[in-house]
Structure 1
Amino acid sequence: MKNRDQIMLKGMMFYGYHGVNPEERLVGQKFVVDVTVECSLVKPSLSDMVSDTVSYSDLFKTVKSIVEGPPHNLLESVA
């Protein structure tokens, strides 16, 4: 069995234009997002090398590009 660790980013705030109602797409709204990523952190914990680990900054930027990107009708689609 592989070692699974978790990286959690909580309370990330973005502004998006998702929803079914026209008002949601016109005015937009704030979205607060929590993300949990499962991965093995054995290698970076042993090497202490930034290049061996997951970039929190890249995770944040990926979520931001999705939430602040093209509008979706359903939040399930955004997720």
Structure 2
Amino acid sequence: TRIVTITYEFDYTFRELTERTVQAPITLFKAQGDDYSFIESHTAYSATPPTVVPLQGDHYSVLKSQGLPELLTATRTAMSH
């Protein structure tokens, strides 16, 4: 709870990431119609540029039974690289 107390803010800000850099590889699964991700457009937040994997389904359909196979395939493919 101490970490949440230190880092939680009511407003969505990038303050936390201006003080730190993500060192781990980042993969973004981007559904049709999704807005940009801050990590996608601001390279200073991560040590290496993120890999962006476009999906055919929209944000909600990829989480339903008809779209889940696409998300699973994309996840497995990304993990194998």
Query: TM-score, normalized by length of structure 2?
Result: 0.25
Larger RCO of the pair (alpha carbons < 8 Å, separation 6+)? 1
Higher Cα Rg, which structure: 1
Higher strand share: 1
Q: TM-score, normalised by structure 1?
A: 0.25
